[in-house]
Structure 1
Amino acid sequence: MLSRLVLTDFRNHAALTIAPAADFVVLTGANGAGKTNVLEAVSLLAPGRGLRRAALSDMAREDGAREGGGGGFGVAATLDDGVEVATGTLASAPDRRVVRVNGAAAPAAALAERSAILWLTPAMDRLFVEPAGERRRFLDRLTLALVPSHATHAARYEAAMRDRNRVLAEPHPDADWLAALEVQMARHGTALDAGRRDTVAALDAALAATPAPDLPRAALALDGWAGDAPALAAALAASRMRDAAAGRTLVGPHRVDLVVRHVEKARGAALASTGEQKALLLGIVLAHAALVADRRGRRPVLLLDEVAAHLDPVRRAALFRRLAGLGQVWVTGTEAALFDALPDDAAVTAIAL
């Protein structure tokens, strides 16, 4: 969890400091006030491109350089255990991310070892009807919160796969070099797949064990490639000609899909209504937060953008009761009245932007 957040020249915020409470951080304000920008800044304290998946060069405040800010941006936080983490860019390298832990340079993957951050945004409401790649990214964030090494395996698998694709595109590919890259893909790909499958199995069991859920119950499974490292290396070797013709790698854990079903209605989540899909997704996030707290012994950070706006007062109150104690919850809304049903005993920081 975060005990302090400092933004410098990030999006529309020239300078912003927040000392968040342990339970809820409520950000309110008109559309365009910068509420989601704050959530995006927090999301950058995890590996990856943040909740908008935007280019780093787009995150620096437009007027920052003209006002002497240098043209880059900074996001710094103090965690509840006293560790200082920071990330951002320099004007001289607007597309290169800098990460520091306790003042020392660190890889972005190191952030996963310090905190678990997950988010839910309106853009994710139709996750179940989007291409499989979107669900894989969502699953990888779930897995990363449980298995901090997941980011390293994912990065090395992707790097080896890019190199393999490049070698396959050459007129006379080097077979020995391909074999070495395939061994690397197999090693990291197997670890990648194992982390995902463990997460799906544990989360599916947690969802099934939820007593009298007030949200639709989801059932999860992973569809696609499965096997050990030797099997993956052999499959890659056998697929060289086909992959060369396609210009991409057609076998491996990068091709799997997260399958979600609506249990009560016994059908795929993609066939559910828009409201049901959002409720299914929210149920997954809540169950995952409890799983993270149980497995890692620390409460996660949940970023929920406009999650209460389309809920009636009864469901809104039920949601806040479910959220209480799960982690540090950052929520946004245009009106403070949306959060009147927050538990009376919760520690709340309310900020009007």
Structure 2
Amino acid sequence: MGGLSIKTLSLSHFRSHRSANLDFDGRPVALIGANGAGKTNLLEAVSLFSPGRGLRRASPDDFSKRPESIGWKLRTTVVGLGGDHELETWAEPGEARQVRVDGKAATQASLGRVIRILWLVPSMDRLWIEAAEGRRRFLDRMTLSFAPDHAELSLTYEKAMRDRNRLLKDQIVDPHWYTALESQMAEAGAQITQNRRAALARIARASTGDTAFPRATLALSEPDESDLLTALADGRRRDLAAGRTLAGPHRTDLAAVYTVKGVPADQCSTGEQKALLISLILANARALAEDIGHAPVLLLDEVAAHLDEDRRGALYDEIVSLGAQALMTGTEAELFRGLSGRGRLIRVSDAGGQSQISSQEDI
């Protein structure tokens, strides 16, 4: 089973990289360099070939290299669904991000129909103890990997909800103003919830079997809103008082339990919480490999530094077994010794505030 993969990557005036060109061969890649050298910026560049705002959730202007701020551009060739594709994304100063697929203007959502990308970054380490918004984003990234149309549904729902919230803040009480918006929210919201539940069921089926990482049992924590249209209509008086919509899938939370111990994730140790996250990313990758016949691209930022040698080896073994291309970052090559003979090493260095690719070699 082959994996989806990045074949080439070109960056122009992106973050700390004025110009960079990289070639990949589908194997796992270790990006090595000192903190601040620009390793994570390369992962972020790849993440922008997936729908959304990338692994840092930044705005287009934030990607532009300082102090020039003349805009930025990324180009990649990928082994994607249906064959090879050329993808481009860029933004001029103050403008929205643009996308081209095989030379034709496209939407961000269309990227999910070409290639599937999953990521795990240090900011997600607090996922189980932070506010519910972060867990919803994590849930929707998983869901999007199975259902590329999930992004468009979410945009439809959020736009209708913003318009409804504007009416609420303006204290509009005439029901005719709400009817169409609430119908849009109910239709999109029902599909969003259905997609989320299907994704969790798929993750659960892929979480069985022997693994070095603990299994997490996931569940949605949501109010009983089987008829969202009625809930929205009945809740207008309450929502008018609050000035915002208080019912719908934007209020859903994701709960996780360390399966073997029966302990909620937010009560687990820091190390256990990290291991549960890795387990979920790997389960997501296994499920996709089974469903679409190709493993997704994995972006794993500083993941090796938090694992002992045995677990690092187990992670690399599972990535290779999946046939997945994983781009991983670390400060030293020793962290990736367990990949010996099965991956590539790319050294990234800082030269006066500008990132450079120092060398590319086999591990």
TM-score for both structures, normalised by structure 1: 0.93
> 2: CA distance between counterparts of 1:254 and 1:171?
22
Shift of the 48–134 alpha-carbon distance from structure 1 to 2, 3 Å rule, reads same
Aligned twin of 1:331 = 328
Candidates 23, 29, 38, aligned match of 2:27 = 23
1:96-175 correspondence runs (5 A):
96-175=96-175
Aligned twin of 2:257 = 261
> 2: CA distance between counterparts of 1:55 and 1:23?
31
Alpha-carbon offset, residue 227 of structure 1:
5.0
> 1: CA distance between counterparts of 2:223 and 2:11?
42
> 2: CA distance between counterparts of 1:23 and 1:193?
36
> What secondary structure does 1:222 align onto?
strand
Candidates 46, 60, 64, aligned match of 2:68 = 64
Equivalent pair of 2:44/2:55 in contact (CA under 8 Å): yes
Equivalent pair of 1:223/1:257 in contact (CA under 8 Å): yes
- What letter matches 1:78 in structure 2? T
1:196-234 superposed Cα distances (whole Å, 9 cap, x missing partner): 000111112321x223x3112211111104555xx1111
Alpha-carbon offset, residue 249 of structure 1:
0.8
Alpha-carbon offset, residue 57 of structure 1:
1.0
> 1: CA distance between counterparts of 2:183 and 2:340?
52
1:147-204 superposed Cα distances (whole Å, 9 cap, x missing partner): 0000000011000000011122224344223110000001111111111000111112
Identity %: 47
> 2: CA distance between counterparts of 1:349 and 1:187?
47
Shift of the 128–172 alpha-carbon distance from structure 1 to 2, 3 Å rule, reads closer
Aligned twin of 2:53 = 49
- What letter matches 1:106 in structure 2? A
Alpha-carbon offset, residue 19 of structure 1:
1.1
> 1: CA distance between counterparts of 2:286 and 2:340?
18
Candidates 79, 83, 86, aligned match of 2:85 = 83
1:220 and 2:218 are equivalent in the alignment: yes
1:349 and 2:344 are equivalent in the alignment: yes
- What letter matches 1:333 in structure 2? G
Aligned twin of 1:290 = 286
Alpha-carbon offset, residue 3 of structure 1:
0.9
Aligned twin of 1:68 = none
> 1: CA distance between counterparts of 2:294 and 2:156?
27
> 1: CA distance between counterparts of 2:173 and 2:224?
27
Equivalent pair of 1:139/1:196 in contact (CA under 8 Å): yes
- What letter matches 1:339 in structure 2? F
Alpha-carbon offset, residue 258 of structure 1:
0.9
Alpha-carbon offset, residue 63 of structure 1:
3.6
Aligned twin of 1:10 = 14
Alpha-carbon offset, residue 107 of structure 1:
1.3
> What secondary structure does 1:204 align onto?
helix
> 2: CA distance between counterparts of 1:341 and 1:350?
13
> 2: CA distance between counterparts of 1:113 and 1:7?
23
> 1: CA distance between counterparts of 2:73 and 2:25?
22
1:99-135 superposed Cα distances (whole Å, 9 cap, x missing partner): 1111221111111111111111111111100111100
1:244-299 superposed Cα distances (whole Å, 9 cap, x missing partner): 11111111111111110011221100000000000011001001101011112222
- What letter matches 1:210 in structure 2? G
> 2: CA distance between counterparts of 1:130 and 1:263?
21
> What secondary structure does 2:73 align onto?
strand
Equivalent pair of 2:225/2:248 in contact (CA under 8 Å): no
Aligned twin of 2:194 = 194
- What letter matches 2:181 in structure 1? L
Q: Structure 1: which 5+ runs fail to align?
A: 66-70
1:270-285 correspondence runs (5 A):
270-285=266-281
Shift of the 341–171 alpha-carbon distance from structure 1 to 2, 3 Å rule, reads closer
> What secondary structure does 1:306 align onto?
coil
> What secondary structure does 2:305 align onto?
coil
- What letter matches 1:235 in structure 2? A
- What letter matches 1:6 in structure 2? S
